Structure formats: structure tokens, C-alpha cells
Structure 1
Amino acid sequence: MDDQAREVGHLMLITPERVFYAGLLGRPRERCPGAFHVYVAIKGGLHLATSDGRESYGDLVVTMPNLRHTIASDYRSAICVAIEPESVRVGALESYARQLMGAESQVFADRIRAAYAALARRQYSDDLSNAEFDIMCFGQALPQRVLDPRVVRAIARIGKFSGEPVTAADCAADASLSPSRFLHLFKEETGISFRSFRAWKRARHLLHFANQDINLAHLAQDIGYPDSTHFSHSIRRFYGLKPRAIFSGSRDLAIYHSSGSFTAAAAS
């Protein structure tokens, strides 16, 4: 662990629509997470290569949701801030990426490092809202997306991860729509298919347990994977690491949870 990581510790704060992670990146293998990612170096710099041919080096780099990329750090530890795209107004993330990588890139990097130190001292509330999280990390709140109430309910159902896996048919029935009409509505509102959205949220839910000594086969079943092979393939696709590697590298990781405000903005 590098000097600053030792000083404030490896940690992860998880809210329903935000994640702040400071810890090991693991080997630089291709990953394709479903969230908007802002990577910040704790020391040195970061090397980013994306599937669309972009390569960059700096102490702050940004990737859009569902973009395959490889990230490597000069030091073993780095900071990653993740934002769920369905929680932000359409087009805002593209605009914000340009701002983060623009003339004030260093200011944003320093602010995120300061947020790291503040989180290590537990200087946040247990019900940290999206706006409070954004202000802590970026100095401003990102504009919230307003979703159809039927899609809001479906997202909430997916996010419970209890009992049988949520299906599109279940959500369609709840919305009083045919499955095909519901699937169209869901993609129209969120910008991603129901199946892809559910797969990402399932993989994201794994983060809550990353520092626990837990049976991975049982965990896979509990959060809705049909078998261990599917579980391993899915996690590697999103994170570039096998589940066992994630858990092995998270033994010293302090994980904090904040209830936040789960996509409360629904069209009336």
C-alpha cells in the first residue's frame, strides 16, 4: 500500500447511484462497467486506453458508461468515482466529461483527493444524497434525470436483490404494459436495455460484500446468477477481474453504505 493509502486507508462508499472507491486497481485488463467513471491518481499518473482508440495519461481520466477500457496506475492504489447514468439528465455526462478533462482538470483531481481524506475521517452523513455526494467530489450537483414512474418502480425492484431474480415480465405486469411495450419504455427512458441494465446492477451489488469472507458460489446464487461460470464471466466483463481477485484485493477495504435517495425523481 502506498504512503497516502496507508495514511487514510482503502475505502469504498456505496450509495444507490454513486460509488467512491479508493484502493487497488488490480491488473490492467479490459473492463466495461455500466457507470460513468472518474479515475484519479493518488500519486503519479493514470494510463487509459479505450476501445474507441483513445489513449491518455494524467492524474484524472474519465470514461463513459458501457465503454470498454483499460486503466493502469503508476502506483497500486487509485481513486474511482462512479455515477449511475440513469440518475443524470440525458447529455449531462458527456458535457461534464469535457469539463472534468478541461482546463480545470487539476482542480477536480485535488477536490476528489480532498473528498477521499474527508471520507476516511467519516465526514459525511449516513443518508448522503446524490447532490451532496456530487458537491463533495465535484463542487456542484449533477442535473437529475426525471424518469417515468413505471421505470422508477422497475429499477427499485431490480435493486432489492431478494428472492427470485426480477424479470421484464414481472415489471411489465406491475406497469400494466405488455412485455414488449415495457422493454421499449425502459430503454427509451434509461438509454440501455433492461437485460443489460439488470446485469450491471447485479455486478454492482457485489461491491457491498467485497471485503467479506464469503462463499462466492452462494453469493452468486443469492444475487441472481444462474451458476458460478456465468457469475465469473459477468464480473470479469464489468470489472476486468475475476470475483476471487476482487475479494482477495479488498481484505483491507473499509466499506461504508449510505441510503441516499434512489431515483426519487419521477415524472408526474
Structure 2
Amino acid sequence: MGDKSSEAGQLMLITPERVFYAGLLGRPRQRCLGAFLVYVAIKGGLQLAAEGAAEGYSELAVVPPNLRHSIASDYRSVICILIEPETVCDGAFELLAKRLSSTQRQFFVERLRAAYEQLRHQPCTGDIVSAAFDIMCFGEALPPRILDARVVQAIAQIGRFSGDPVTAASCAAVAGLSASRFLHLFKQQTGISFRSFRAWKRARHLLHFANQDHNLAHLAQEIGYPDSTHFSHSIRHFYGLKPRAIFSGSRNLAIYRSGLVGAGNSAWTQEAG
């Protein structure tokens, strides 16, 4: 990663199941991401305010999926790890959160900062699977969740972001199930409703374009939003920032992508603004 963006210290590694972000935090209102989050301060500490919990200050903060929260940093930038909840078995997040919040906290702070330096200075060659990502960040692979093949197929459909909009009815038809039976199966397997899952994946897909100049109306349509209003509302709900603010703060961000939904052998691609 020898480009100017990574030399400046701002980078994002995106895989279908994980994201490693190191860059500007911005000044968002409350955010509510659909992934398990681990924040680490690059310097100084972090102030976390989450619904239902007292405010806390630390170098490391853990937030479960779909919890409204705000995060502030003593420094302009932050490290943030996103882990998709449907990719790990039940209870894995809770166990990891206990370890990250225990007497081992400082060990994980230093490990994640070291992972950041590794990604800054060592080129990425080949693909990276979730187990390798987890070992780099946490020292061990998180146990994967085994999903019904019909749900896996639906998730792959949602992740293509091309062609006709993906609906519960279309996924149910492919799975050979009624719409009601499919929706029940999907929530039972993933722990979240089909609509909420699809909304988060659309918003997550925006990350691939964060450092590029785009016509927002065209980008909204490409990602699968019906119009710019829905696009802006959804992005602000998840990230606490307007789309334009995300693009403005990501101009010097180096983006590295590994893998595609349903394809495990693709090479790394880089998109640096």
C-alpha cells in the first residue's frame, strides 16, 4: 500500500464479511450500523454514548449490531472494525466483547493498532478470508455461523447490487418457499428481518465508493435505492452523516477490496481517490 492515501494513514479494507477502517471519524449524530463494531483510538481515547448504557471513556469500545450510539475521539481519526453478524455463530460476539473489555483490553488495543500499521505498510497480495482477518485483529478466528443454503442464496442475491431490485418475493421464489415461510426462515437464521438486512447491506455497499466522485442520484440507483431521498435518509440513519459528508471526508482514503459475494478466489482490488 504505497500510495499517497495509505501514506496519509487513511485506509479501508473491505471484504464481504468484514471491514477494517482507519480514518476520519467526523462529527456524526447518532449512528446505528448493522454490524458488530470495535472502535480503537489511534491516539488518546474514545467517548462512547450508547442507548441504555452510561457514557464511557476508553481506548477501545465495543458496540453490538443495530444499537444507536455516538462515538467521539480525542484524535481526528479512529480505527473501526465491522463484523457482519450473520457470519458468526450465536454468542460469539458476546464472548469476544467480554475479552475485549476484560484485563486483556490493552493487549487488543495494541494488537489492532499493530494491524493498522501492518495494513499501512505491507502490500496486500491475494485474497483474505474472514478467519485470516480475525486472526490479524483478535488473534483467533471467530466461529462461523452455518446458514441454510436457501438463506445463503438470498444473501448472495442481495449482495449483487445489479439488475432488478431484490425482494423477499423474488428470493422466496428462488428458494421454492412461500413469501411468509421464507421471511420466517430468513429471520430465524440471521437474527434480523429481511428488510432490515437488505437496508444495511445497501448502506454498507456505499463504502466501496466513498472516495470517488459520484452523482448521488446515479449512485443511489446503482446501489438499489428508489430515489435520492430514501438514499440520504438511510445513510444518515446508519452512519449519522449525510452522503456528501462521507464523500468529503474520504477523499484521501485508500480503499482495498477482497472477494466478492459468492466468490472466494478473487484478487485484491484497490480504489484510491
Could you tell me the TM-score, scaled by structure 1's length? Answer: 0.94
Deviation at 1:124, TM superposition (A): 3.7
Whole-angstrom distance in 2 between the partners of 1:193 and 1:176: 19
Checking the alignment, whether the CA contact within 8 Å between 2:160 and 2:261 is kept in structure 1 is no
Question: In structure 1, what residue type is equivalent to 2:178?
Answer: S
Question: In structure 1, what residue type is equivalent to 2:82?
Answer: A
Checking the alignment, whether the CA contact within 8 Å between 2:169 and 2:179 is kept in structure 1 is yes
Whole-angstrom distance in 2 between the partners of 1:34 and 1:263: 22
Deviation at 1:164, TM superposition (A): 1.6
Checking the alignment, whether the CA contact within 8 Å between 2:8 and 2:252 is kept in structure 1 is no
Asked if residue 12 in structure 1 is aligned to residue 12 in structure 2, the reply is yes
Checking the alignment, whether the CA contact within 8 Å between 1:232 and 1:242 is kept in structure 2 is yes
Question: Residue 161 of structure 1 corresponds to which residue in structure 2?
Answer: 161
Deviation at 1:54, TM superposition (A): 2.9
Question: Residue 145 of structure 1 corresponds to which residue in structure 2?
Answer: 145
Checking the alignment, whether the CA contact within 8 Å between 1:89 and 1:145 is kept in structure 2 is yes
Question: Residue 232 of structure 1 corresponds to which residue in structure 2?
Answer: 232
Deviation at 1:190, TM superposition (A): 0.0
Whole-angstrom distance in 2 between the partners of 1:257 and 1:54: 36
Q: Give 1:95-106 correspondences, 5 Å limit.
A: 95-106=95-106
Kindly tell me: are residues 108 and 263 of structure 1, through their superposed partners in 2, closer, same or farther at Cα, counting changes over 3 Å? farther
Checking the alignment, whether the CA contact within 8 Å between 1:8 and 1:117 is kept in structure 2 is no
Whole-angstrom distance in 2 between the partners of 1:125 and 1:33: 29
Question: Residue 41 of structure 1 corresponds to which residue in structure 2?
Answer: 41
Q: Which runs of 4+ in 1 moved over 4 A?
A: 5-8, 260-264
Deviation at 1:263, TM superposition (A): 9.8
Structure 1: which 5+ residue stretches go unaligned? Answer: none
Whole-angstrom distance in 1 between the partners of 2:144 and 2:36: 14
Question: Residue 269 of structure 2 corresponds to which residue in structure 1?
Answer: none
Whole-angstrom distance in 2 between the partners of 1:57 and 1:204: 27
Checking the alignment, whether the CA contact within 8 Å between 2:14 and 2:20 is kept in structure 1 is yes
Question: In structure 2, what residue type is equivalent to 1:106?
Answer: Q
Whole-angstrom distance in 2 between the partners of 1:77 and 1:198: 29
Q: Tell me the percent identity.
A: 70
State the SS of the aligned residue for 1:127. Answer: coil
Greater Cα shift, 46-55 or 170-179: 46-55
Deviation at 1:125, TM superposition (A): 3.5
Question: In structure 2, what residue type is equivalent to 1:167?
Answer: T
Cα deviation per residue 1:212-259 (whole Å; 9 max; x = unaligned)? 011111000111101111111100000000000000000000000011
Question: In structure 2, what residue type is equivalent to 1:254?
Answer: A
Deviation at 1:126, TM superposition (A): 3.0
Question: Residue 57 of structure 1 corresponds to which residue in structure 2?
Answer: 57
Whole-angstrom distance in 2 between the partners of 1:237 and 1:26: 15
Question: Residue 255 of structure 1 corresponds to which residue in structure 2?
Answer: 255
Could you tell me the TM-score, scaled by structure 2's length? Answer: 0.92
Whole-angstrom distance in 2 between the partners of 1:73 and 1:108: 18
State the SS of the aligned residue for 1:89. Answer: coil
Question: In structure 1, what residue type is equivalent to 2:103?
Answer: A
Whole-angstrom distance in 1 between the partners of 2:250 and 2:154: 31
Aligned residue-pair number: 260
Kindly tell me: are residues 252 and 40 of structure 1, through their superposed partners in 2, closer, same or farther at Cα, counting changes over 3 Å? same
Question: Residue 268 of structure 2 corresponds to which residue in structure 1?
Answer: none
Checking the alignment, whether the CA contact within 8 Å between 2:6 and 2:254 is kept in structure 1 is no
Question: Residue 270 of structure 2 corresponds to which residue in structure 1?
Answer: none
Question: Residue 210 of structure 1 corresponds to which residue in structure 2?
Answer: 210
Aligned Cα root-mean-square deviation (Å): 1.6
